Amino acid sequence: MRRDSTRAKMSQSLESSDRLRISVIGAGYLGTAHAVGMAQLGHDVIAMDIEKEKIARLSACELPFFEPGLGELLRKSVEAGRLRFTASYDDVAEADVHFVCVGTPQLPGSFNADLRWVETAFAELARRVAGPAIIVGKSTVPVGTARRMAEVVRHQTDGGRVEVAWNPEFLREGHAVQDTLQPDRLIFGVESRWAEQLLRAVYQPIIEEGCPLVVTDYATAELVKVSANAFLAMKISFINAVAQICEATGAAVLPLAEALGYDDRIGRRFLGPGLGFGGGCLPKDVRALYACATELGLDEVATFIRQIDAINLSRRDRALALGRELLGGTYAGRRVCVLGAAFKPNTDDVRDSPALAVATAAHREGARVTMHDPVAMNSARLVHPEIEYADTIVTAAREADLVMLLTDWTEFQDMDPALLSSVVRSRNVLDGRNALTPERWRAAGWTYRA
Ligand code: UDX
């Protein structure tokens, strides 16, 4: 109900007196989705990124990544004159609300997040913004960052009122439009009623439609995001841990997950057993929470969180071992067809992709790996040129000794085992996502493992 009426309301857009000037710093995945979302709410938006090529593409209404539905809204927002792009901080100084949406990747060789882009963005804005304005962090950061950024802003701005707020996002790749315009909840980490009111004005159409809002302090707002992701990761690792017990005892994990899911307190979502989680958020956030607990000296908490990651990574080894078994003990000299490169369906993102991890490990053990993915092959090729890539499922499977399904795209779930039987060398299939119907594959003469 709420979702439909929000859409209707947004198509009417805000009264001109309610429109705010909004800047978005960082035109990556989150920033672009947020900038388009803000323009769709009716605000005047300028998005800034230091990468000039990205800005040129976005100004020409071209999305630099794959995201269903976002390209169309980008075009509409630009054509309506609600959204512009720039590569200069000077152009965003006048905005009333600045959203910092830059990346916080995992630091190489550490479990901590790399905060250099966040620090730069706040410092650059603080030097230019005269106020009254708020600078709102959306990036996922370790607890304590907002307070530090508030100090930076306090020291560098003089005169007008400029405050820091934290407003984490919970955007899922493949659902960016829905998650931005119809979020499950809004979190405002603020230090004053004034900053809260300004954020309420930004999200007015969404709040009016009944979206739950939690107004809190900086530290809580920062922790909500990592806790939410760590909890989702824990659900996946939990069902994967139980899957191992099922495997050892002859129990079936899928009906078990279904049975658990009927309990409202548990719920069925994120109880999908298989190759585990990847992507730019869940693994990084679990590790960041682990690093935080360790730094605080909370050893038991740290051990608990560490196991979420350990169980998840062990799934990749298990898939590799199952594949080796199906091949009679070795990957050396065998042909392996890998279906899926993206860390999950409906994205071209291959960051920390379980599918790519397994494929490259099989390659290192001597297999000739041919991979197919509906949209993520270009991203995969950039990081792993050593693997072969095929334009269709059938060409990837030609002469294969083993077919591994590692990302659960719908087109893989629907594929016809009889058709593949005619092109492979041996009918061995490893279903890394519990996405296929085993009876169908077995009936077509395949040896099926999941
Ligand atoms: C996640 C959070 O869902 C989102 O709220 C946050 O803002 C960013 O991080 P995303 O990284 O896009 O979003 O992916 P998500 O849909 O959460 O999936 C994460 C991973 O878990 C994927 O690799 C997926 O394949 C895996 N997964 C998901 C499972 O292995 N089993 C499941 O049951 C569900």
> Per-residue pLDDT tens for 355-367?
999 999 999 999 9
Pocket test for ligand 1, best of 170, 177, 224, 236 (most atoms within 8 A of CB): 236
Q: Is 323 helix (H, G, I), strand (E, B) or coil?
A: helix
So what's the pLDDT on residue 112? 85
Q: Which residue has the higher pLDDT, 251 or 158?
A: 251
Q: Which protein residues touch ligand 1 with a CB less than 6 Å away?
A: 169-173, 229, 232, 236, 270-272, 274, 276-279, 281-282, 343-344
At 405, which helix (H) or strand (E)? strand 402-405
Q: Whose CA is nearest to atom 2 of ligand 1?
A: 172
The pLDDT confidence band at residue 7, using thresholds 50, 70 and 90, is: very low
Share of the chain above pLDDT 70, in %: 97
Q: Does the structure show a pLDDT above 50 at 6?
A: no
> Could you identify the atom of ligand 1 that is nearest to the CA of residue 345?
25
Q: Separation of 277 CA from ligand 1 center, angstroms?
A: 6
> Smallest Cα–Cα separation from 319: which of 283, 383, 362?
362
If you average pLDDT over residues 385-403, what whole number do you get? 97
Residues acting as catalytic residues: 281
Q: Check whether 274 has a pLDDT greater than 90.
A: yes
- Residues 332-351, mean pLDDT to the nearest whole number: 97
Distance CA 434, CA 450 (A): 6
Give CA–CA dist 288/143, Å, rounded: 10
- Whether pLDDT at 379 is above 90: yes
CB count within 10 Å of CB 252 equals 11
**Residue indicated by tokens 């809004």:** 186
Tell me the helices (H) and strands (E) count for the chain, helix number first. 19, 14
Which atom of ligand 1 has the smallest separation from the CA of 281?
A: 9
Longest dimension (CA), the chain: 76
Q: What is the mean pLDDT of residues 267-280?
A: 97
pLDDT, position 356 = 98
Residue predicted with more confidence, 386 or 3: 386
Q: What is the pLDDT of residue 11?
A: 43
Contact 104, 117 (CB under 8 A): yes
Residue 17: CB atoms within 10 Å: 5
Ligand 1 pocket, mutate which of 30, 172, 287 (most atoms under 8 A from CB): 172
pLDDT tens string 289-323? 999 999 999 999 999 999 999 999 999 999 999 99
pLDDT of residue 3: 47
Residue 272 alpha carbon, nearest atom of ligand 1: 33
Q: Looking at ligand 1, which residue's alpha carbon is closest to its atom 20? A: 277
Q: Which atom of ligand 1 sits closest to the CA of residue 169? A: 7
pLDDT the model gives residue 93 = 96
Task: Tell me the one-letter amino acid at 116.
Answer: R
DSSP 267-298: -STT---SS---SSSHHHHHHHHHHHHHHTT-
Q: How confident is the model at residue 2 (pLDDT cuts 50, 70, 90)?
A: very low
**pTM for the whole structure:** 0.93
Burial letters 259-277, b for 16+ CB under 10 A, else e? ebeeeeeeeeebbbbbbbb
Alpha carbon 419 to chain centroid distance? 34
Rounded to the nearest angstrom, the distance between the alpha carbon of 309 and the centre of ligand 1 is 14
Banded pLDDT at 327 (limits 50, 70, 90): very high
**389-400: average pLDDT:** 98
Token reading at 375: 């949209």
- Please report which residue ranges of 130-192 form alpha helices under DSSP H: 145-156, 176-181
Q: Residue 195: which residues within 8 A CB-CB, separation 6 or more?
A: 134, 163, 165, 188
Q: Quote the CA–CA distance of 19 and 32 in Å, as a whole number.
A: 19
* C-alpha to C-alpha distance for 273 and 343, rounded to whole angstroms: 15
Residue 238 CA to ligand 1 centre (angstroms): 14
Give percent helix, percent strand, percent coil of the chain, each to the nearest 5: 50, 15, 40
pLDDT at 352 over 90: yes
Q: What's the confidence (pLDDT) of residue 13?
A: 58
How many C-beta atoms lie closer than 10 Å to residue 338's C-beta? 35
Determine which residue's CA is closest to atom 21 belonging to ligand 1: 277
Tens digit of each residue's pLDDT (9 = 90 or more) over 224-244: 999 999 999 999 999 999 999
